[in-house]
Structure 1
Amino acid sequence: MTDIVRYHEIGGPEVLKVEQGDPGAPGDGEVLIAIEAIGLNRSEAAQRAGTYIVRPPLPARLGHEAAGTILAVGANVTGWQIGDAVSTLPPMRPGDYGTYAGQTLWPATQLIRRPEGLSAEQAAASWVAFLTAYGGLCEAGGLRAGQPVVISAASSSVGLAAIQIARAVGAIPIATTRQAAKRAALEQAGAAYVVISDEQDVVAEIRRATGGAGAPLIFDPVAGPFAERLMECLAPDGMLIVYGGLSNQPATFPRHLAIGRNLTMRGYNFFPLAADAARRAEAMAMISAGLEAGRFDMPVAARFALAEVGGAHRALEANAHIGKMLLIP
């Protein structure tokens, strides 16, 4: 038996319940993992609240990012054995599996070998953020050396990863955040410019940072009314990539501005990258090299026991942290 977090109804953090359950024996193509650390993601809070892009049948489990050790291997699993240190990647259907547990079954295709010298906490905190940033900036956005890129909500784990990915390819990261107290951390992460959106004119500041030209690429998890302001910051032929919906309000598309400047707004999620072995291997090679060399780092903002999962989600949704929050079974 092991601790397993489930929710039986849609709602706030209070619907998350820690229950005792049998994780089961691994089936065809599965492994059983002893979880050491669990990375929290805003998509999980959205899933719990019923605002995510999919809504699993209830009762459902949560969590798609963790680090641990393989305890058992099912049939038709190759390349993995008992004792291997691994990190998880999201399954293609959220709710079928969940990392919020002491032990969990997981598809063997959705595992990453833990790089040498990387702690379980760093392994649980890094992969989803860096893969999302890599796929959004390098694949979808075609980011190149010398280009400015605006990264909004930059104190999030994906935002911090995007700053570091942009630096790694030689681009110029411009970070936005609502809170002036986060400026120093964003500069330390590598942001060339930091715009405080609650205190400064975002459009004017980004224009100033880009010498009046505007940014060719913006990477945004907020959407909502803020998206129209970000579109005004784009250079001609620029692209706004939206990878989240933190505002939960409709995003207005400024059609006249978009037509006049040939602008693009597109959505992005990293599930196709995570499911494509060749693309994933290319991304992992860059990210693993950065993690092992210490060029990439994800600060751990807070640690919560699994029994404190409700409080962890409340802290996650308060948006006061910088980096990644973890659950420790």
Structure 2
Amino acid sequence: MLRLTRRPPRSTAQTVLIPKKETAMPRQVYFTTAGGPEVLHLDEVPFNNPGAGEARIRVDAIGVNRADQMFREGRYFYPPNFPSTLGYEAAGVVEAIGPGVTEVAVGDSVAVLPAFKLTDYGTYGDYVVVPAAALVPRAADSDPVTAAAIWMAYVAAYGALVEGDPVAKGDHVLLTAATGGVGLAAIQVANRIGAVPIATTRTPAKKQRLLDAGAAHVIVTSEEDLGQRVQEITGGQGVTTAMDPVGGPGIVEVIKTVSPGGRLLVYGILDPRNDMSQGLPTVEGIEVSLYTLFGVTGDPDRRQRAIDFVTAGLTDGAFTPVVDSTFDFTAYAQAHQHMESGQQFGKIVLTVQH
């Protein structure tokens, strides 16, 4: 049995309410060295009782993200502490709450949004403890697979396009490698605020799917010149905002599509050729910066604005999470292999059987 030691041991006296005695040990995915999907293992762990400000949930579905891959590989913007679990997203039911928790109650159906570090918490388990502030209520009859596919993607897109320095109506937005969860959510967010989403993909087969998903224009980078096509689409103006999850040498071409006074937000460094020790390129008149959603989820007021914005879009049908595939919880390695293949269109979700 694995005993994860990322957080201090908990006393049962800390727990305000535990509704029942559990008969089976929880399972959690963990890794003890950085590497590929093969470093991930599943083992039983002790039940953690939630401390102050925390809740324990019975997990029904888990969102799989590129951040999980990079953290597992040791290429994330902070390193893992071994043994380490992983996972930012999940959907489930609250089973216990710690002292001072008012956001949720035992029995609530909830989703987890990324509002913590993976060195402190993780969602790859069938019972997990997370900060109560990271839980979003959901309808009891809502689909847990869909609920587990929402918050990373839509809050990341909201933070980039709406919060702080909002994209204006009519602005062109470039979304590179747009077939991932964040790219597809950003297409929908751009459309909701009246911007014009330009999506890119390396694969011609995905062009029509991106158009069907709401992209106003799609550039197939294996067949078309990115800069030339952006100039044609924007009438020579360029885009005001570009979002790129890849980095690497291709970032130079992405920068060229941005209009003076515009910005490039790098929200991932998936290209293994990235050398962040050299920093990001600097271009006069253009903002080039690393972007994470934690500036939104780490601030209570911004987090609530994001929740309200995303909830409104889900309610009126403007936002429809795209789920590529589901894997059983025990097939976590296969899910990561599928993610690394680059074949997916939308989110990958693990489902948990109880």
- Same fold, judged at TM 0.5 (above): yes
Who is 2:225 aligned against?
201
Q: Is residue 153 of structure 2 the alignment partner of residue 126 of structure 1? A: no
Who is 1:312 aligned against?
335
Residues of 1 paired with 2:55 and 2:311: CA distance?
A: 23
Q: Is the 8 A contact 1:61 1:96 kept in 2?
A: no
Who is 2:316 aligned against?
293
Name the structure with the higher helix share: 1
DSSP-derived class of the 1:5 partner:
strand
**Structure 1 position 141, deviation (Å):** 4.5
**Structure 1 position 254, deviation (Å):** 5.8
Who is 1:179 aligned against?
203
Residues of 1 paired with 2:42 and 2:92: CA distance?
A: 19
Q: Is the 8 A contact 2:104 2:137 kept in 1?
A: no
User: Which stretch of the first structure deviates more once superposed, 278-287 or 41-50?
Assistant: 278-287
Residues of 1 paired with 2:140 and 2:256: CA distance?
A: 44
Q: Is the 8 A contact 1:141 1:239 kept in 2?
A: no
Residues of 1 paired with 2:142 and 2:333: CA distance?
A: 28
**CA distance change for structure 1 residues 311 and 146 in 2, over 3 Å: closer, same or farther?**
same
Residues of 1 paired with 2:195 and 2:234: CA distance?
A: 12
Residues of 2 paired with 1:198 and 1:115: CA distance?
A: 43
Q: Is the 8 A contact 2:42 2:330 kept in 1?
A: yes
Who is 1:324 aligned against?
347
Listed as ranges, the gaps of 5+ residues in structure 2 are 1-24
Q: Report the residue type matching 2:288 in the other structure.
A: M
Figure out how many residues of one structure are paired with residues of the other and give that number: 325
Q: Is residue 183 of structure 2 the alignment partner of residue 159 of structure 1? A: yes
Q: In structure 2, which of residues 118, 121, 127 is the aligned counterpart of residue 103 of structure 1?
A: 127
Q: Is the 8 A contact 1:23 1:105 kept in 2?
A: no
Cα displacement string for residues 6-50 of structure 1 (whole angstroms, at most 9, x for unaligned residues): 101111101110101223211121111000110000010111111
User: Which stretch of the first structure deviates more once superposed, 165-174 or 292-301?
Assistant: 292-301
Who is 1:267 aligned against?
290
**Structure 1 position 136, deviation (Å):** 0.9
**Structure 1 position 294, deviation (Å):** 1.8
Cα displacement string for residues 101-135 of structure 1 (whole angstroms, at most 9, x for unaligned residues): 11111111111111576421111001110000000
**Structure 1 position 189, deviation (Å):** 1.4
DSSP-derived class of the 1:33 partner:
strand
The two structures have a TM-score, normalised by structure 2, of 0.88
Q: Is residue 31 of structure 2 the alignment partner of residue 7 of structure 1? A: yes
Listed as ranges, the gaps of 5+ residues in structure 1 are none
Who is 2:19 aligned against?
none
Q: Is residue 100 of structure 2 the alignment partner of residue 76 of structure 1? A: yes
**CA distance change for structure 1 residues 46 and 254 in 2, over 3 Å: closer, same or farther?**
closer
Q: Report the residue type matching 1:153 in the other structure.
A: A
Q: Is residue 87 of structure 2 the alignment partner of residue 63 of structure 1? A: yes
Residues of 2 paired with 1:91 and 1:166: CA distance?
A: 23
Q: Is the 8 A contact 2:177 2:245 kept in 1?
A: yes
**Structure 1 position 137, deviation (Å):** 1.4
Q: Is the 8 A contact 2:103 2:133 kept in 1?
A: no
Residues of 1 paired with 2:164 and 2:345: CA distance?
A: 25
**CA distance change for structure 1 residues 315 and 141 in 2, over 3 Å: closer, same or farther?**
farther
Q: Is the 8 A contact 1:36 1:67 kept in 2?
A: yes
Residues of 1 paired with 2:341 and 2:105: CA distance?
A: 40
Q: Is the 8 A contact 1:300 1:324 kept in 2?
A: yes
